[in-house]
Structure formats: structure tokens, C-alpha cells
């Protein structure tokens, strides 16, 4: 067996502050094309006259919206269910047992959440959060897929905005901050399905100061030497191998307690905010 696998297994078994950074190869392995669909670039250009990278831009969205949504429906939403859920299930298990703190993903599909993960930062947004630019109503991928022609808000009849960032647009600042905070706080950085050479990630990974950067990818790429441990192959298979250790019931109970506490704190904060707003409103009315 790969020596690195044994080392990684031991690191994960002992850790309680893993942050998972998940890239486009994960979606591809699960059978989804992603936004760019680089692996079918010739077919895409032949059919649409542009590459995926050119289509998912504000130029095409604003000037050729029908083409944009054809591509969205047929290429980005090429299937509803992942071919294999191992990676997402393993992540959910690690989170459930208090080992995984955060997931930062550039995947626009919600497979981690569907597997039960709670702390997911979707850096580029999601196909599940298409928005009406007028009333703000959110529409999921199913709504896009089954729309006849260009999908519109069912209340305003206005064309929807996609739930993900278009290429060339800035990443949402709140998401970026959450991602950087997560990476900065990581003990173990488990990077999956990403080329470390891509500029977006280079900037992001600079915030990690530890010495346990683990890279798992389908194949070796330039720049991988920046990782402390690398393993290549089928990502789902590797995930099974590196988490093939005993998960302790006491860890699960402790993690559940912590999650409950965090949920309650968030709820209390939300309530306090609402009350403050109402008070302010009542005060304003009094003064009228």
C-alpha cells in the first residue's frame, strides 16, 4: 500500500481541525460537467460556437441569454444525482465525528449538503440559488432544468440570475472571507481535485500556515510539490482508504453537543437582532 496513504490516515485519525478544499475534479468524477466543462471543449465549441469559459460570462448572459441557458441546462446540469456519493458521504462522516470543521468548495452543486454536511462555503455560489433580480425569490436547479425556454421568475416574469459567479466577476466578499477564515484556522488542509497551480487557489492557500497540506487528485500536476503529502488516483477510492480507521462514538457525541450549542447561539443571535430591529421600529413610530 502507498506509504503516503498510511501517513495521511494517521493524521486524519488524530485530527479535529481538518478543512476540506474541494475542486472541479470532484464534480467531474461524480459525473457532473461543472461550469467550464473543459473535458468536452471540442464538443461544446462545435455546438455553441464558444467555449464553456466564454459562455459563463456576463457578456453572453446579457447578449445571448437563450444560449446561456441552453448551456446551463444541458451542460452544467447534465445530471441530477452524482454517479457516486463516497466523497460527500466521507466528508459528512468526518464532520459528524467532529474531525472536519469546514468545507470550501468551488463546485456549484450541493452534494456535500445533500450528504449532511453543514459547514460548507460555496466559493462560486450554487446552481440551487438562482435569483429573481426584481423580487429576490430563489429558484433551484430543478426549476431551471424544467423551464421551457429561458427560465423566468414565476411571480415577476423576469429572467433569473444564475446562482453562481460568472467568469470575470468578483467572488462574493462574504464567501471569500469565510473561506479565508476557514483555511487560516485549519490544522490539516485536505485539498481535493484541484491543481495547486491555479491562480485562484494559490492566493487562497497562502493563508494556510500549517505543515499538513494533503493533496488528493486524479493525476499529478505542476505545482503539486507545494503539498506535504500527495496521492493520485480515483478520489472516491482514496477517500475510503484514508478514512479506514475507527470512528469513536464519544467523538460523535461531543461533536453533536458542540453543533447543538452553535445552532442555539446562532438562533439567540438572530432573535436578539430581530428584537433590536423591532425596538428601533417602535421607537421610530413613536417619534412620528
Query: Which of these ranges, 7-15, 47-55, 148-156, 264-272, lies near Zn ion under the rule CB under 5 A?
Result: 148-156
End-to-end CA distance of the chain: 76
Q: Does 156 bind Zn ion (CB under 5 A)?
A: yes
Cα–Cα dist 277/271, whole Å: 10
- Cell numbers 417602535: residue: 282
Angle between helices 235-242 and 3-14 (to 10 degrees): 60
DSSP per-residue string spanning 47-74: HHSS-HHHHSSHHHHHH-HHHHHHHIII
Q: How many CB atoms lie within 10 A of CB 53?
A: 15
**To the nearest whole angstrom, how small is the minimum distance from the Cβ of residue 144 to Zn ion?**
15
Q: Does 8 bind Zn ion (CB under 5 A)?
A: no
Strand 188-192 to 213-217 pairing: parallel
**To the nearest whole angstrom, how small is the minimum distance from the Cβ of residue 162 to Zn ion?**
15
Q: Does 132 bind Zn ion (CB under 5 A)?
A: yes
Q: Does 159 bind Zn ion (CB under 5 A)?
A: no
Backbone angles phi, psi at 27, to 5 degrees: -65, -40
Q: Does 135 bind Zn ion (CB under 5 A)?
A: yes
Cα–Cα dist 68/57, whole Å: 9
Using CB under 5 A, pick the residue from 66, 83, 138, 155 that binds Zn ion: 155
**To the nearest whole angstrom, how small is the minimum distance from the Cβ of residue 140 to Zn ion?**
15
Using CB under 5 A, pick the residue from 30, 121, 123, 153 that binds Zn ion: 153
CB 158 within 8 A of CB 152: yes
**To the nearest whole angstrom, how small is the minimum distance from the Cβ of residue 158 to Zn ion?**
6
Measured in whole angstroms, how far is the alpha carbon of residue 76 from the centre of its chain?
A: 15
Query: Which of these ranges, 79-87, 117-125, 133-141, 168-176, lies near Zn ion under the rule CB under 5 A?
Result: 133-141
**To the nearest whole angstrom, how small is the minimum distance from the Cβ of residue 163 to Zn ion?**
14
**To the nearest whole angstrom, how small is the minimum distance from the Cβ of residue 154 to Zn ion?**
8
Of residues 131 and 175, the one with the C-beta less far from Zn ion: 131
Of residues 114 and 137, the one with the C-beta less far from Zn ion: 137
Query: Which positions lie near Zn ion, rule CB under 5 A?
Result: 132, 134-135, 137, 153, 155-156
Amino acid at each position: 500500500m502507498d506509504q503516503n496513504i498510511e501517513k495521511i490516515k494517521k493524521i486524519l485519525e488524530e485530527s479535529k481541525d481538518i478543512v476540506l478544499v474541494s475542486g472541479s475534479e470532484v464534480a467531474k468524477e461524480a459525473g457532473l460537467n461543472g461550469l467550464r466543462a473543459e473535458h468536452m471543449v471540442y464538443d461544446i465549441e462545435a455546438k455553441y460556437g464558444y467555449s464553456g469559459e466564454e459562455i459563463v460570462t456576463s457578456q453572453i448572459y446579457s447578449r445571448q441569454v437563450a444560449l446561456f441557458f441552453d448551456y446551463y441546462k444541458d451542460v452544467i446540469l447534465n445530471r441530477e444525482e452524482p454517479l457516486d456519493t463516497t466523497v460527500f458521504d466521507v466528508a459528512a462522516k468526518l464532520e459528524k465525528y467532529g474531525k472536519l470543521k469546514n468545507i470550501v468548495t468551488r463546485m456549484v452543486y450541493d452534494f456535500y449538503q445533500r450528504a449532511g454536511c453543514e459547514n460548507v462555503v460555496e466559493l462560486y455560489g450554487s446552481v440551487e440559488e438562482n435569483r429573481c433580480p426584481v423580487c429576490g425569490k430563489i429558484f433551484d436547479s430543478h426549476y431551471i432544468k424544467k423551464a421551457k425556454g429561458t427560465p423566468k421568475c414565476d411571480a415577476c416574469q423576469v429572467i433569473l440570475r444564475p446562482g453562481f459567479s460568472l467568469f470575470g466577476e468578483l467572488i462574493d466578499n462574504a464567501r471569500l472571507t469565510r473561506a479565508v477564515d476557514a483555511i487560516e484556522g485549519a490544522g490539516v488542509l485536505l485539498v481535493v481535485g484541484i491543481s495547486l497551480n491555479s491562480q485562484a487557489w494559490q492566493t487562497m492557500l497562502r493563508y494556510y500556515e500549517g505543515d499538513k497540506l494533503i493533496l488528493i487528485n486524479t493525476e499529478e500536476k505542476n505545482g503539486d510539490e507545494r503539498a506535504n503529502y500527495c496521492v493520485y488516483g480515483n478520489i472516491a477510492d482514496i477517500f475510503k482508504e484514508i478514512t479506514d480507521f475507527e470512528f469513536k462514538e464519544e467523538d460523535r457525541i461531543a461533536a453533536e453537543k458542540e453543533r447543538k450549542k452553535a445552532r442555539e447561539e446562532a438562533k439567540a443571535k438572530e432573535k436578539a437582532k430581530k428584537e433590536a430591529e423591532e425596538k428601533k421600529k417602535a421607537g421610530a413610530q413613536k417619534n412620528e
